[in-house]
Amino acid sequence: MSCSVEVVREIWGEHNECVEIGPDRDGLEMVEIRTRESDRTISKRISFSPEEARLVASAMLSCANDVEVNTKKESEKNSFTPTA
């Protein structure tokens, strides 16, 4: 009997939904992102080579930063400060 250990990162939502990030389950040496519904069934899967995964992670972080900056700018633009 052969066994293996798999490390998976899980991000849980408030309604018990989950995003898993870990090695692909097909043994292709890829990084896989799986979304699970609250009943734990897999709803979506996407796989990347390690190099692609790094590029996607970098792009996501950059986009998150841009969204935060743009949201802050919009908030400041729409705020009203009375002058004396």
> How many C-beta atoms surround the C-beta of residue 29 within 10 A?
9
- Reading phi first (left if > 0) and then psi (alpha if -120 to 50, else beta), residue 7 is in beta
> How many C-beta atoms surround the C-beta of residue 7 within 10 A?
7
> Could you tell me the end-to-end alpha-carbon distance of the chain, in angstroms, rounded to an integer?
80
Instruction: State the DSSP H helix or E strand holding residue 58, giving kind and residue range, or none if neither.
Output: helix 50-78
Instruction: Classify domain 9-77 by CATH architecture.
Output: Roll (3.10)
Predicted model pTM: 0.70
pLDDT tens-place string over residues 44-53 = 999 999 999 9
The overall average pLDDT reported for the chain is: 88
pLDDT tens-place string over residues 59-68 = 999 999 999 9
